[in-house]
């Protein structure tokens, strides 16, 4: 029984040592990858670090970062993988909050910590080589309930919170994905282009190790680099959030690129609109799985399956012999059903909601973490008897499909009516000339809050047009009362729109962010 990804790496190195584990940023076999990880574990122990100690990592998806994360796993040390897009103040907040003993930083990110009291260890793009002797030491393999990683929530509404993720959480995540992804394993070529500071980045790498695939790792997401990697390495599987897919299919190179090797993509972080899904499939011609989850659920809680996507697109599978079914209900806006080992409840205060009734989404199961790091008040509020209060508003239909309406904190109250931004966004994105959109509530003397739409389009789109377009499709009171044209929506590295940045200028003189 393999209880950790470290056990899996040991297994791969014993039985398939010559099989290629990494390509892209570096080339390494499974035997070499294990050896490099053990060398790093020895180097960490030589620095006086002990099991449970935390270290910060500030680096792109380079070989040294992979080696460091896996080396920490062998040594029982907890890597705190930092978002390198944060400001210096935000970075130091996380390092202090996590009580990191030292920081490993690539050259691009040393300025973020250069004036701090932390000892900084230089990371290069290539594997780290120990001064000698580190590879020979005996190491005790970690236990399933031992903390493996500490990631931080994206903090779209509050200060980031530390989320300790144990080995059992990670293995449950990988099992959930393995149950869904067709034809993944030996012979697969797995694209890793999401950043490691997001669970999607490290998760898709670990999934590749579990399957014994060749993992094509890119230092960071760049659409042309992704297209080149797919063509060069004949990528068959991978993970790309909707914003990444859009960047790839809109890149000029995509019109003549060879995507024929692609079989399957996972996406998450944000819903995908039907027009984008259709456009993505038209070019990539692969199967899709949507995974909804949060950092607190190790990235996955529900799954919209390959079969669901075939039904939505009305196409045959690219990786199996499955075909589209006639769907009685359009589930293109659904996040799918509960993943293996997960339970879902929809609650309105302490009352369980019925099918079709909206409330807060509560999650329980094997990928749900035990608590936040050093946040007793938030823990008491969010974690209870194994259940996690997600802060997402949604409902379950009669067949158990989850439909997300919005974040609790993003709800708009206009003249006493509840308006969920995502519902308005789904309506507006169907407009043939709107490329991207986000909706927020702004202060209004008459309405309390008014719906404001931030729109990316090639021409000016005015309020009057949107208030009369497709009158049968969205209630009048939910339609925008103001439109702001914008070149691009602000997003965090997970692809989530930063609504607070859009909302902030309108509320800065109000003293609060609701009316």
Give 288-333 pLDDT, tens digit per residue: 999 999 999 999 999 999 999 999 999 999 989 999 998 778 888 8
Q: Label residue 131 by pLDDT band (50, 70, 90).
A: low
Q: Judging by DSSP bridges, how do beta strands 214-217 and 189-192 pair with one another?
A: parallel
pLDDT in tens, 222-231: 999 999 999 9
pLDDT at 512: 41
Q: Quick check: 260 pLDDT over 60?
A: yes
* C-alpha torsion 27→32→33→38, nearest 10: -150
pLDDT at 155: 55
Q: Quick check: 198 pLDDT over 60?
A: yes
Q: Within its chain, how far is the Cα of 457 from the centroid? A: 26
CA triple 210-57-149, angle to 5 deg? 45
Tell me the average pLDDT across 96-100.
97
pLDDT at 511: 46
pLDDT in tens, 493-504: 667 788 889 988
**Nearest residue to 328 via CA among 258, 262, 422, 401:** 401
Q: Within its chain, how far is the Cα of 471 from the centroid? A: 35
pLDDT at 515: 42
Q: Retrieve residue 14's tokens.
A: 């014993």
Tell me the average pLDDT across 106-120.
92
Q: Judging by DSSP bridges, how do beta strands 214-217 and 359-365 pair with one another?
A: unpaired
In this structure, which CATH number among 3.40.50.12780, 3.40.630.10, 3.90.400.10, 3.40.50.300 belongs to the domain 5-313?
Answer: 3.40.50.12780
Tell me the average pLDDT across 355-380.
96
**Domain assignments of the chain as residue spans, ordered by start:** 5-313, 411-507
pLDDT at 493: 66
pLDDT at 37: 96
Q: Quick one: 3 exposed, middle or buried, by C-beta within 10 A (0-12, 13-18, 19+)?
A: middle
Q: Retrieve residue 511's tokens.
A: 């003293």
pLDDT at 133: 47
**474 secondary structure, DSSP code:** S
Q: Label residue 348 by pLDDT band (50, 70, 90).
A: very high
In angstroms, the first-to-last Cα distance of the chain is 55
By percentage, how much of the chain surpasses pLDDT 70?
95
Tell me the average pLDDT across 189-205.
96
Three-class SS of 99-136: CCCEEEEEHHHHHHCCCCCCCEEEECCCCCCCCCCHHH
pLDDT at 159: 75
pTM, rounded to two decimals: 0.85
pLDDT in tens, 408-435: 778 888 876 778 888 899 899 999 999 9
Q: Quick check: 161 pLDDT over 60?
A: yes
pLDDT in tens, 32-73: 999 999 999 999 999 999 999 999 999 999 999 999 999 999
In sequence order, which residues have a C-beta less than 8 Å from that of residue 128 and are 6 or more positions away?
36, 39, 40, 43, 64, 67, 68
By percentage, how much of the chain surpasses pLDDT 90?
76
pLDDT at 42: 92
Q: Are 5-313 and 411-507 in the same CATH fold?
A: no
**Nearest residue to 61 via CA among 209, 167, 230, 193:** 193
CATH architecture of 411-507: 2-Layer Sandwich (3.30)
> What is the average pLDDT value for the chain, to the nearest integer?
91
pLDDT at 416: 67
Q: Label residue 514 by pLDDT band (50, 70, 90).
A: very low
Tell me the average pLDDT across 251-255.
97
């Amino acid at each position: 029984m393999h209880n950790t990804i470290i056990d899996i790496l040991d297994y791969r190195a014993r039985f398939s040592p010559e099989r290629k584990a990494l390509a892209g940023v570096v080339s390494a076999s499974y035997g070499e990858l294990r050896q490099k990880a053990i060398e790093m574990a020895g180097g960490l122990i030589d620095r006086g670090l002990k099991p449970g100690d935390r270290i910060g990592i500030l680096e792109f998806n380079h070989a040294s970062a992979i080696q460091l994360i896996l080396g920490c796993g062998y040594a029982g040390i907890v890597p705190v993988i930092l978002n390198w897009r944060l400001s210096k103040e935000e970075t130091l907040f996380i390092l202090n909050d996590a009580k990191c003993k030292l920081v490993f930083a690539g050259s691009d990110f040393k300025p973020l910590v250069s004036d701090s009291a932390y000892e900084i260890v230089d990371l290069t793009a290539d594997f780290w080589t120990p001064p000698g002797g580190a590879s020979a030491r005996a190491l005790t393999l970690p236990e399933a309930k031992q903390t493996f990683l500490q990631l931080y929530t994206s903090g779209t509404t509050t200060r980031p919170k530390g989320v300790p993720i144990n080995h059992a959480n990670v293995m449950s995540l990988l099992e959930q994905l393995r149950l869904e992804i067709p034809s993944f394993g030996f012979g697969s070529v797995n694209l890793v282009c999401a950043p490691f500071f997001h669970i999607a980045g490290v998760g898709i790498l670990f999934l590749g190790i579990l399957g014994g695939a060749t993992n094509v790792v890119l230092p960071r997401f760049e659409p042309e680099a992704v297209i080149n990697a797919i063509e060069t390495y004949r990528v068959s599987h991978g993970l790309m959030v909707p914003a990444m897919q859009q960047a790839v299919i809109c890149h000029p190179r995509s019109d003549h690129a060879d995507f024929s090797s692609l079989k399957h993509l996972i996406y998450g972080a944000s819903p995908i609109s039907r027009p984008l899904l259709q456009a993505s499939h038209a070019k990539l011609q692969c199967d899709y799985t949507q995974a909804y989850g949060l950092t607190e659920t190790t990235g996955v809680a529900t799954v919209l399956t390959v079969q669901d996507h075939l039904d939505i697109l009305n196409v045959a599978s690219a990786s199996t012999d499955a075909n589209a079914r006639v769907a009685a209900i359009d589930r293109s806006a659904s996040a799918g059903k509960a993943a293996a080992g997960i339970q879902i409840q929809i609650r309105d205060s302490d009352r369980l909601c019925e099918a079709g009734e909206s409330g807060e989404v509560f999650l329980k199961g094997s990928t749900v973490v035990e608590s936040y790091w050093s946040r007793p008040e938030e823990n008491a509020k969010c974690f209870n008897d194994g259940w996690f209060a997600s802060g997402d508003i949604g409902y379950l239909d009669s067949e158990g499909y989850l439909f997300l309406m919005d974040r609790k904190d993003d709800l708009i109250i206009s003249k006493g009516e509840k308006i969920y931004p995502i519902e308005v966004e789904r309506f507006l994105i169907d407009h043939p000339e709107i490329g991207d959109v986000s909706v927020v509530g702004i202060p209004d003397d008459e309405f309390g809050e008014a719906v404001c739409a931030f729109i990316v389009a090639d021409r000016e789109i005015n309020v009057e047009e949107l208030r009369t377009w497709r009158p049968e499709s969205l209630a009048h009171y939910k339609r925008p009362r103001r439109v702001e044209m914008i070149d691009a929506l602000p997003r965090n590295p997970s692809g989530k729109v930063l609504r607070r940045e859009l909302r902030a200028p309108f509320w800065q003189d109000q003293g609060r962010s609701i009316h």
